[in-house]
Amino acid sequence: MTEGNADELRKLVTPRDEGIIIRDSLPIYPSPKQAAVAHFLRRAATRDRSRTEDVYTDARVNVHPHIRHEVQALQHEGYDVAIVDTPPRHELSTQVQAAVDEEIAQLSKLPNCTDILFEPSLHPAGATWFRLAKYALALQTLYAAGTTTTLADGLDPSVFHEPIIDGLSSMERLRSRRGDQEAQSALDKYVAYASTPMSDHTDAFPSSRDFLVGVIDSRAVQTRADTAINMAREHMSSRPGHSAKRGVVTASLTCGAANPLFEMARSLDQGGTPISTILLIDSDEMALATAASLARSKGVEGRVILYHKDLFRHRLTSYIKPESVDVVDLLGLVDWLPDELRDRKTGLVRRRPIQRLLSDVGDIVRAGGMILVGNMLNRRPQQAFVERVWPSLFQRGVREMLSIIATAGFDPMTVQVRIPGREGVYAIYGIPVP
Ligand SMILES: C[S@@+](CC[C@H](N)C(=O)[O-])C[C@H]1O[C@@H](n2cnc3c(N)ncnc32)[C@H](O)[C@@H]1O
């Protein structure tokens, strides 16, 4: 190459100011997430639907045919199994509910469904909710989705610095377990969550509130709790002398934010069998602090005792007096438990953890009391959606759960099984302790 030619070439390849023009003229490729959001929003709009229609009152049974057959077969065999109608706590207008259902059906087909649904510019509150979706606080939002003004009304984050568990704050406990950095990052998430307003107006498609009210799983956790509360109330009122003087003692194992027990306290107080003591047990200190703050906002803090314990590391009777509890709630636990559990620290494998736990629970319950267990059914509506949004759960049929309960030492013929029929997502098992 001659010198002249080399100069010519250098002129061609040397970056000049105009280089920026070349870059700008290149097509801009959206990220897969941006493309997915844009594609989704270009679909025929469901967002123009009226928001002023009648409230959604669809009381139809939504239980999967397979589960319905199972229920009928079990009824024929003499088991106490029934599909019940428990209304959800919050409802949408018919049109908005239809829009949410349609969006969920469409989103469930997309692998990046959560990228779209929880895109912060579309659903700011939904995006913050999703960051804590694996934690109990996210359930609290679902319980209150229709009325809450922030994602966590009633939670005062200063509680995380209060000495609420054996003289230590939840932050001190978390720091000693996980180190300063992780504890601070958890605190930041909780503080941000508690101060995020529930957004009602987004241009893109139904708002965060619409989704958090309208998705079946939101209504299902509400009706799971309220069905369990009805079962406890009926059970206690059928034994008026049982707890008349001392008041009902309740315990929530894996309490999370403890909404079901606080609502149970309200319901039993009104029904004339008041709760005197609420024992809350959880391995997550931030969940316990959240429950303590919510107890205050509901005026029941004087009845609450907190235990920071892992159910599989500490026997219940080592900290709760045997035969001292009337109602035990185990909602939201067995969905996470496989048939074999490996301890993350020791590597030890625990076979049949549900059976062993239930049998331990039996030891703390007074004769005439009741254990309430919930489990997600193995056939249910919006299955594809829940698989995309939540980590995988252990879903079970009614017969399988009854057999687990039987191997824990309880008579399955005495167990009450109630399935809130509008959602067809959970079965609640009321195990009476003879
Ligand atoms: C889905 S939440 C249940 C919330 C509550 N029972 C309700 O129905 O709203 C699950 C809770 O279980 C707690 N948890 C999970 N494994 C546990 C264990 N081995 N011991 C104690 N708590 C546990 C978690 O920290 C979390 O707060």
In the predicted model, what is the mean pLDDT of residues 81-89?
94
The Cα 183–Cα 175 span in angstroms is 5
Site residues for ligand 1, CB cut-off 6 Å: 136, 139, 252, 254-256, 259-260, 282-284, 287, 310-312, 331-333
Strand partners, 329: 252, 372
Question: What does the block give as tokens for 183?
Answer: 């504890």
CA of 9 to the centre of ligand 1 (A): 68
pLDDT cut 90: percent of the chain above it: 58
Q: In testing the pocket of ligand 1, which one of 177, 223, 252, 254 has its CB within 8 Å of the most ligand atoms?
A: 254
Instruction: State the pLDDT confidence band at 239, using cuts at 50, 70 and 90.
Output: confident
In the predicted model, what is the mean pLDDT of residues 279-294?
96
For residue 416, pLDDT over 70 is answered with yes
Q: In testing the pocket of ligand 1, which one of 283, 294, 315 has its CB within 8 Å of the most ligand atoms?
A: 283
Q: Has residue 361 been placed in a domain?
A: yes
Q: In what order do the strands lie in the sheet with 365-376?
A: 80-84, 416-420, 426-432, 365-376, 325-330, 248-253, 275-282, 304-308
For residue 107, pLDDT over 60 is answered with yes
The three-point CA angle 151-283-259 to 5° equals 40
Find the helix or strand (DSSP H, E) in which 142 lies: helix 136-143
For residue 16, what pLDDT is reported?
43
CA of 127 to the centre of ligand 1 (A): 22
For residue 308, what pLDDT is reported?
96
Q: Is 406 helix (H, G, I), strand (E, B) or coil?
A: helix
CA of 247 to the centre of ligand 1 (A): 25
Instruction: Specify the CATH number for the domain of residue 388.
Output: 3.40.50
Per-range mean pLDDT, top range of 13-22, 24-33, 94-103, 191-200: 191-200
CA of 354 to the centre of ligand 1 (A): 14
For residue 2, what pLDDT is reported?
42
Measuring from atom 26 of ligand 1, which residue has the nearest CA? 256
For residue 241, what pLDDT is reported?
67
For residue 49, pLDDT over 50 is answered with no
CA of 136 to the centre of ligand 1 (A): 7
For residue 211, pLDDT over 90 is answered with no
Which atom of ligand 1 is nearest to 311's Cα?
Answer: 20
Q: Has residue 78 been placed in a domain?
A: yes
Q: Has residue 396 been placed in a domain?
A: yes
CA of 106 to the centre of ligand 1 (A): 31
For residue 265, pLDDT over 60 is answered with yes
Q: Has residue 15 been placed in a domain?
A: no
Instruction: State the pLDDT confidence band at 390, using cuts at 50, 70 and 90.
Output: confident
Q: Is 135 helix (H, G, I), strand (E, B) or coil?
A: coil
Task: Name the E strands within 232-356.
Answer: 248-253, 275-282, 304-308, 325-330, 340-342, 349-351
Instruction: Assess contact for 221 and 257: CB atoms under 8 A.
Output: no
Domain that includes residue 67, residue range: 62-89+216-254+311-434
Read off the pLDDT of residues 137-147 as tens digits, 9 standing for 90 and up.
999 999 999 88
Q: Has residue 106 been placed in a domain?
A: no
The Cα 282–Cα 365 span in angstroms is 18
Q: Which of 175-179, 245-249, 422-426 has the lowest mean pLDDT?
A: 245-249
In the predicted model, what is the mean pLDDT of residues 146-173?
94
Q: Has residue 27 been placed in a domain?
A: no
pLDDT cut 70: percent of the chain above it: 84
The Cα 54–Cα 410 span in angstroms is 46
Total domain count for the chain? 1
Q: Has residue 132 been placed in a domain?
A: no
Q: Which of 20-24, 83-87, 221-225, 273-277 has the lowest mean pLDDT?
A: 20-24
For residue 345, pLDDT over 90 is answered with no
Tell me the H-state helices in 180-335.
Answer: 180-194, 208-214, 216-237, 259-270, 285-297
In the predicted model, what is the mean pLDDT of residues 23-43?
55
Read off the pLDDT of residues 200-209 as tens digits, 9 standing for 90 and up.
665 556 678 8
For the chain, the average pLDDT equals 85
Q: In testing the pocket of ligand 1, which one of 174, 282, 285 has its CB within 8 Å of the most ligand atoms?
A: 282
CA of 112 to the centre of ligand 1 (A): 28
In the predicted model, what is the mean pLDDT of residues 75-99?
90
DSSP string, 83-127: EE----S---BHHHHHHHHHHHHHHTT-TTHHHHHT-TTT-HHHH
For residue 60, pLDDT over 90 is answered with no
Q: Which residue has the tokens 């087909």?
A: 109
Q: Has residue 355 been placed in a domain?
A: yes
Q: Which of 30-44, 241-255, 260-274, 328-342 has the lowest mean pLDDT?
A: 30-44
Is 106 or 250 the better-scoring residue by pLDDT?
A: 250
For residue 240, what pLDDT is reported?
65
- Classify the C-alpha dihedral 241-246-248-250 as positive or negative: negative
For residue 58, what pLDDT is reported?
74
For residue 51, what pLDDT is reported?
44
Q: Is 183 helix (H, G, I), strand (E, B) or coil?
A: helix
Tell me the H-state helices in 14-82.
Answer: 19-25, 32-41, 65-76
In the predicted model, what is the mean pLDDT of residues 280-292?
96
Instruction: State the pLDDT confidence band at 52, using cuts at 50, 70 and 90.
Output: very low
In the predicted model, what is the mean pLDDT of residues 373-400?
93
- Classify the C-alpha dihedral 63-357-326-152 as positive or negative: negative
CA of 282 to the centre of ligand 1 (A): 6
Which one, of 361, 291, 329, 319, lies nearest residue 429 by Cα?
329
- Classify the C-alpha dihedral 184-190-195-198 as positive or negative: positive
Instruction: State the pLDDT confidence band at 244, using cuts at 50, 70 and 90.
Output: low
For residue 92, what pLDDT is reported?
84
Instruction: Assess contact for 356 and 350: CB atoms under 8 A.
Output: yes
For residue 204, what pLDDT is reported?
55
Measuring from atom 15 of ligand 1, which residue has the nearest CA? 254
For residue 74, what pLDDT is reported?
98
Q: Which residue has the tokens 């969550």?
A: 193
Instruction: State the pLDDT confidence band at 48, using cuts at 50, 70 and 90.
Output: very low
The Cα 194–Cα 137 span in angstroms is 9
Instruction: State the pLDDT confidence band at 40, using cuts at 50, 70 and 90.
Output: low
Measuring from atom 20 of ligand 1, which residue has the nearest CA? 310
The Cα 231–Cα 429 span in angstroms is 9
In the predicted model, what is the mean pLDDT of residues 354-361?
94
CA of 284 to the centre of ligand 1 (A): 8
Instruction: Assess contact for 69 and 79: CB atoms under 8 A.
Output: no
